[in-house]
Amino acid sequence: MVAGMVGEVEEAEFPERFRSYSENERHWQARREFILRNLSPDWVEEAPWPAGRIDHLLSLSMVWANHLFLGCSYSKDLLDKVIEMAEGIEVEDVPHFTTRDEIMKKHQH
């Protein structure tokens, strides 16, 4: 996906290539910040970009955004990793999702 791209693109322009067609502005700005925050400056200067590492970062950014905005659940280790990577990113009006386990626990009392 990324292999063969030239490295002259500035860091700020870099993630724009990876915005999903269906991604709204609010979700994209949060995910863009996640990508930029975790992007190695060396990657932008390398030509071609290290596709495996960038694909991994993009996947982690989607896990974080899907968890944050859609309430998707993932393994504890994966969630811990992306939450740590997103530390300090401020997103307003984040929806709150109730898990099935939380609902079941509430009804047991």
pLDDT profile of the chain (109 residues), mean per 10: 46 76 92 90 61 87 95 94 95 75 75
Cβ–Cβ < 8 Å for 4, 54: no
Cβ–Cβ < 8 Å for 64, 86: yes
What pLDDT score does 3 carry?
Answer: 43
Tell how far CA 43 is from the center of its chain: 17
pTM: 0.72
Q: How many CA atoms lie within 13 A of 59 on its CB side?
A: 10
* Helix or strand run (H / E) with residue 9: none
